[in-house]
Amino acid sequence: MHAFLQHIAQFTTPSPPLVEELRQRAQHHHFGKHELLHAADTVCRRTYWIEQGLVRIYFDKDGKLVTDGFAAENAWMTSAYSFMRGEPDAYAIAAIEPTEAYSLGLDDLLYLFDRFHEMERFGRVIMSAQFIEQSERLNSLRFTSPAEKYQHFCAHYRPILGRLPLGMVASYLGITPETLSRVRAKG
Q: Where residue 187 falls among pLDDT bands split at 50, 70, 90? A: confident
Cβ atoms 100, 30 nearer than 8 A: yes
Each residue of 21-40: b (16+ CB within 10 Å) or e?
bbeebbeebebeeeeebbeb
pTM: 0.93
> Can you tell me whether residue 86 is helix, strand or coil?
coil
pLDDT 10s digits, 3-38: 999 999 999 999 999 999 999 999 999 999 999 999
Longest dimension (CA), the chain: 54
Choice between 137 and 8, residue whose per-residue pLDDT is larger: 8
Distance CA 135, CA 150 (A): 16
pLDDT 10s digits, 151-186: 999 998 999 999 999 999 999 999 999 999 999 998
